[in-house]
Structure 1
Amino acid sequence: MTSPSDRAWTRQLLARFVTLWYLKAAGTTAFMVLFFMGYFWVLRNPSREPWPMPTLPIDDWVPFTPGGFAAYVSLWVYVSLPSALLPDFRELLRYGLWTAALCGSCLLVFWLFPTLAPVPDIDWSLHPQLAFMKGIDASGNACPSLHVASAVYTAFWLHRILSQVGAPSFLQMLSVVQCVVIVWSTMAIRQHVFLDVLAGALVGWLFAWLSLRRASRAGGFTR
């Protein structure tokens, strides 16, 4: 039998999800379109010759796993969750601005200090999905990994949101596991090396800390 507390957090999440759903859907779509326009412009117009990222022994500890591609692309669903679960326009706007600041900062770094992931000795023709992605991305814009930064940033925001509605701990753990799997996938499909991942995690943590601290001071997350 479902307890009143269980119904309370599910009702809160549902109420947040349907609030301004049309604006959230349109805004998320527009943001992603604009982001990819900027991302590929920077990729094709670096300010200087891209520098290959060095590898460390830890890069060899993560085996090449083509199946990690599914986890890699799951980021685009994962990063959409915080905005979908925000309670009002003010919080949505604040989140959008901080997310734009995170992405914009990384794009600026990519343009000023372009980097490339090292080319592994892999026959990409045996992995069509990965070959297609490699052909588009060319493994550029490597450090910091914006994929990792976005996942870590999202994990912190989801932790705050789920805590505010009193969601059970298993949802918190599920979010953390998803974040870790996404981070792992960036190395498993050889899109990034460890230094990219480390830098991306630090960027994601920094922007999460700054944005959530400002949100708390502004009186956000009260519902």
Structure 2
Amino acid sequence: MDSVEQERPWKLASIWLMFLAPFFFISYNFANGLAANRQVAHIVFEWESHIPFVAWTILPYWSIDLLYGISLFICATKLELHNLGKRLFTAQVIAVTCFILFPLGFSFTKPETQGLFGGLFAALAEFDQPYNQAPSLHIALLIILWVHFPRHLNSVLIAPFHLLCILIAISVLTTFQHHFIDVPTGALLGWLCIWLWPDSGVSAVKARISSELEDTTEEAQRHRLSLCYLLGSAVLAVLALSFQGWVLWLLWPSVSLLLVSMMYLKLGSSGFQKSEIGHMSSAAKWLLFPYLVCARINSRLWTRNVSHVSEIVDGVWIGRYPSAKDIEMNGYKTVIDMTAEFSAPRRLSNHVSWHSICNLDLLTPSSSALKEAATLIEQARARGPVLVVCALGYSRSALAIISWLLMSGHAQTTEEAVALLRTKRPSVVLKDSAQIRLTSLHDATMNQGTEYHG
């Protein structure tokens, strides 16, 4: 385990355990008891009949109980402990709610087992009936613990720990405790809990509306986009539940679109959990993966027949979201990223400075975001070529560069700045509301006397 100078919150960890352990058994058994008195459905694929029963995998299956208890006591700070406790509690509440509302059962007959393994199966059967299936609470808790432990383990223990987690994941099938559908739904629940309670300690659902949503001038547009994503989510969910089988995988993009809908309605770009250097949280990546893939494909399709980048003036470039290869080949020293829905490329050179100013697609960035972008562009020019990007290089990045043109004195009016940009990048798209915001920002900047002269 890692060494931490400050005292670990042992007493608080004990309180969390004394609360979570009884709650786990009481709520889990309650859902099991209800299902035992109801007619439950089964969701099982034909190929699952070929999954072997492997008695010894009851050992890794049971080991998650030990990991659960230890996890609370290795927390280095109260913030980390409270985050973990809330994740475990939320997983339990959501899973049990699903068990009660949509009870499912396990349909295979479990073989007789003797000896040590038989004793462990018998102990498990004392409280775990063949219900409480999807989402697998076992898998949801595993995901939470899998993310939690590595930061506290010695490098020598990392690989064995990952192997144990893989065995635990497999064991839910080879012990005949769960059908396959329970595994991905359980994983989705686990990532949802991590997303809801990020390491920052600020709940995703309690986060303040981000600055790009504080301006009510585009409220109708936000609501339209939110509704569109919500309808898309509903259609996919109906298709998945109606046809079932492999169509059930549509539940993943359904959840993804539902979260995006919430971001446009209330949460803002904070829902993407993107850092200042452009890296999105693992939870956001997993939950939003279908949406992120579609956004990437859309970016490439719209820009396949046009120039990917254009130099505007004085080493300031505009373009679509780049790959690490794009940045390396063109020698950019700084990237100003105006998107929320893209994560910075992996293996980015240490010589490249990445700055993320998160803004939702199809909405005009706030005045504060545009001013921040202009300031960063001006400061970054001293290091070398600067690339300002959004999904296509047509709108959010264009607004950032126009703001810089105005604040740096390269253009005296909004119309002049727009005209200059369009001579180099004819495909830029600017709404009337965006131009009004640019003019307002320029007037305010001039009044404050903060114009740059580059």
Which TM-score applies when normalising by structure 1?
Answer: 0.77
Confirm or deny that 1:200 pairs with 2:186. Answer: yes
Task: From the superposition, tell whether residues 26 and 114 of structure 1 become closer, same or farther in structure 2 (CA, over 3 Å).
Answer: same
Task: From the superposition, tell whether residues 85 and 136 of structure 1 become closer, same or farther in structure 2 (CA, over 3 Å).
Answer: closer
CA distance in 2: counterparts of 1:210 and 1:114, whole angstroms: 25
Confirm or deny that 1:154 pairs with 2:149. Answer: no
Query: Deviations along 1:65-99, whole A, 9 cap, x unmatched?
Result: 11111111100111233322222223322321222
Counterpart of 1:107? 96
Counterpart of 2:166? 180
Counterpart of 2:18? 29
Preserved contact between residue 125 and residue 131 of structure 1 (Cα < 8 Å): no
Pairs within 5 Å for 1:20-169: 20-46=9-35, 48-57=38-47, 59-120=48-109, 122-123=111-112, 127-159=118-150, 161-162=151-152, 168-169=154-155
- The alpha carbon displacement at 1:141 in A equals 0.3
CA distance in 2: counterparts of 1:128 and 1:80, whole angstroms: 22
Kindly provide the amino acid, as one letter, of the partner of residue 44 in structure 2. P
CA distance in 2: counterparts of 1:91 and 1:209, whole angstroms: 14
- The alpha carbon displacement at 1:63 in A equals 1.9
Deviates more, 1:202-211 or 1:66-75: 202-211
Pairs within 5 Å for 1:9-28: 10-12=2-4, 19-28=8-17
Q: Aligned with 1:185: secondary structure?
A: helix
Task: From the superposition, tell whether residues 125 and 51 of structure 1 become closer, same or farther in structure 2 (CA, over 3 Å).
Answer: farther
CA distance in 2: counterparts of 1:155 and 1:119, whole angstroms: 28
CA distance in 1: counterparts of 2:82 and 2:123, whole angstroms: 34
CA distance in 1: counterparts of 2:76 and 2:160, whole angstroms: 22
Kindly provide the amino acid, as one letter, of the partner of residue 76 in structure 1. D
Unaligned 5+ segments in structure 2 are 208-454
- The alpha carbon displacement at 1:182 in A equals 0.8
CA distance in 2: counterparts of 1:193 and 1:116, whole angstroms: 9
CA RMSD between the two structures: 2.7
Preserved contact between residue 79 and residue 201 of structure 2 (Cα < 8 Å): no
Q: Aligned with 1:11: secondary structure?
A: coil
Kindly provide the amino acid, as one letter, of the partner of residue 178 in structure 2. H
Kindly provide the amino acid, as one letter, of the partner of residue 22 in structure 1. K
Query: Deviations along 1:3-37, whole A, 9 cap, x unmatched?
Result: xxxxxx7322xx57x62223313421331111110
Preserved contact between residue 137 and residue 186 of structure 2 (Cα < 8 Å): yes
Deviates more, 1:87-96 or 1:116-125: 116-125
Task: From the superposition, tell whether residues 128 and 23 of structure 1 become closer, same or farther in structure 2 (CA, over 3 Å).
Answer: same
- The alpha carbon displacement at 1:61 in A equals 4.7
- The alpha carbon displacement at 1:146 in A equals 0.5
Preserved contact between residue 81 and residue 158 of structure 1 (Cα < 8 Å): no
CA distance in 2: counterparts of 1:176 and 1:121, whole angstroms: 28
Preserved contact between residue 32 and residue 132 of structure 2 (Cα < 8 Å): yes
Q: Aligned with 1:143: secondary structure?
A: coil
Task: From the superposition, tell whether residues 172 and 212 of structure 1 become closer, same or farther in structure 2 (CA, over 3 Å).
Answer: farther
Unaligned 5+ segments in structure 1 are 1-8, 219-223
- The alpha carbon displacement at 1:210 in A equals 3.5
Which of structures 1 and 2 has the bigger CA Rg? 2
CA distance in 2: counterparts of 1:179 and 1:31, whole angstroms: 21
- The alpha carbon displacement at 1:125 in A equals 6.9
CA distance in 2: counterparts of 1:208 and 1:122, whole angstroms: 36
CA distance in 2: counterparts of 1:182 and 1:108, whole angstroms: 24
Q: Aligned with 2:2: secondary structure?
A: helix
- The alpha carbon displacement at 1:168 in A equals 4.6
